[in-house]
Amino acid sequence: MAKVDIKMPDEFLERISKLGSDFDPVAEKVLEAGGEVVLDKVRSTLSSVIGRDTKQPSRSTGELESALGLSPVKADRSGNHNIKIGFSEPRSDGDSNAKIANIIEYGKHGQPAKPFLKPAKSASRSAAISAMQQKFEEEVGKL
């Protein structure tokens, strides 16, 4: 599956580092705000490409779209907080949502690619950063 990294501006990171013990709860809320913006864009682009330009009628069950969601915020070994957008597994038919999403994104023999992750990343970048900055200001104002 494709990996999307959106880096926060340096000045934003400096302000976050000054939070001290309040960092973790604020970082989680900020990442969730940005993640929701990107998730909404991924969901809309995915639904716009499913069943589009097919030679045969679409067999879409809606299961792939409903499996799309956000992971909880977790800190990695380096101390970086991450939130991920992905698909829950398994499907009711035993197939893998990640495999089906990969085929849609990159295509396969006889099936052209219908990218939905990369366009969603590009289209939501500035909106996600704005949402994160707004949430940060809101949370810092509460402290």
Confidence at residue 4, expressed as pLDDT on a 0 to 100 scale? 65
Confidence at residue 142, expressed as pLDDT on a 0 to 100 scale? 77
* Distances 24 to 9, 64, 129, 130 between C-alpha atoms, Å: 18, 32, 18, 20
Token pair of 105 as six digits: 């994104």
Domain extent listing, the chain: 22-50+61-134
* pLDDT of 117 over the 80 cut: yes
* pLDDT of 9 over the 80 cut: no
Confidence at residue 2, expressed as pLDDT on a 0 to 100 scale? 58
Confidence at residue 49, expressed as pLDDT on a 0 to 100 scale? 86
Exposure of 134 in the CB half-sphere (CA atoms within 13 A): 10
Whole-model pTM: value is 0.79
Using alpha carbons, select from 43, 61, 67, 58 the residue that is nearest to residue 123: 43
Give the mean pLDDT of 74-89.
88
pLDDT tens column, 18-75: 777 787 888 889 999 999 999 999 999 999 888 777 666 767 778 888 999 999 999 8
Backbone angles phi, psi at 127, to 5 degrees: -65, -40
pLDDT averaged over the chain? 85
CB 83 within 8 A of CB 73: yes
